[in-house]
Amino acid sequence: MPVIHVDLDAFYVSVELRRRPDLRESGVPVLVAGTGPRGVVMSASYDARALGVHAGQPTVRARRLCPDAVVLPPDFDAYAAVSANVMAVLHGFVRRVEQVGLDEAYLDLAGVPLRPAALGRLIRLRVAEEQGLACSVGIGPNKLVAKLASVAAKPDGLREVTEDQVRGFLRPQPAAALLGVGGKTAEALARFGLHTVADLADTPRDTLRRILGAAAGDGLHALSRGLDERPVVPQRTERSLGHEHTFPADVDDPETVRRTLLDLSAATAARLRAAGLAGRTVTLKLRFADLRTITRSRTLPEAVDLTPDLHAAAVGLYEALGLRRARIRLLGVRVEGLAPGGRPQQLELGGREHGWSEVERTVDALAARFGSAAPRPASLLRSSLRNGPGGGNHAPPPLVHEARSTPENPR
């Protein structure tokens, strides 16, 4: 049964351009990136990529390569909300959808009467019409081939690889295109003259086992021949979700730390709700100026997906450390022990009928439409006003942070 892989093109940038038509019409390259001296590129428009800019690259280098680019800070609340909308579109076509991060999904075509290519074209049309986003679609006999086909279709295209085309499609590909071949593995293979999928396919399995070990050697031997038995697993459960923020300059102000933890908690809670998840264990991560890194965790009585719950736990962990003017380089908030969310809220006697859960879900919907113009926690707004023109002398750095998701990192 064929598999479809849907990949949203330059997702973070595309969301920004959707709500900034002036940038789309100007035709200037756009980057979503951290703007401080330690910032990195998270997404780049294709005209910026043509100049050598890519995700994971330091922002300062990207600016040198593409000096005319507009650099925008990430808005993960908006990205999570838009991702949830796109996944709802995909669920309208098939019963089994495996989401991978915010911007990718595999679709199992069992029980679908349409031909795969016709379904792929319909998906692309529907995502464009309903969400204003372009996506590339790959179709193959398994997840490996479908994923590589969507890469070949980028940007904004469709590529179908049939069973009898798999060998010819895979053999010219670089070895690094295969699942599990990272930088170190590629270097190890290159030392033996193995650079392409064809090189791997023509190498005896025992040789690959000697080079890489039994498990990795067997895996690459199968993949190089286009064999991939991984099923499409609907509603894949993440092991953890979270956000991190690297400060442009080390900070030692407890109020700045608490405010940053509020921003990180809000972003993490929004992603939990977008994924329909909640978690019991909240983990705080701190990296100090000397690069020493520590984590502290707390398990809550019940799973949560709301900002106040996450923020209270994270601040409690921070204050329990008793840090006195320790200079902090990075903060992170992560939630583990994930399970399906949407827990009912117990009403208090004489309390409001609608609680904080409804408030945050309303904000989620506004963020999907308006992005950074949507409501934010009042303390963050007050800090912006207080440290604006004519404000205090210790304005905090912009809260630009990076999403973390295990086992997959969205981008």
Residues marked active site are found at 104
Pair of tokens at residue 27: 């035709």
Binding residues for Mg(2+), as ranges, are 7, 103
Binding residues, as ranges, are 7, 103
Question: CB–CB of 29/69 below 8 Å?
Answer: yes
* Cα distances (angstroms) measured from residue 1 to each of 70, 141, 206: 43, 6, 31
Pair of tokens at residue 346: 């117990």
Burial class (CB in 10 A: 0-12, 13-18, 19+), 282: buried
Question: CB–CB of 372/210 below 8 Å?
Answer: no
Token look-up 């405010």 returns 259
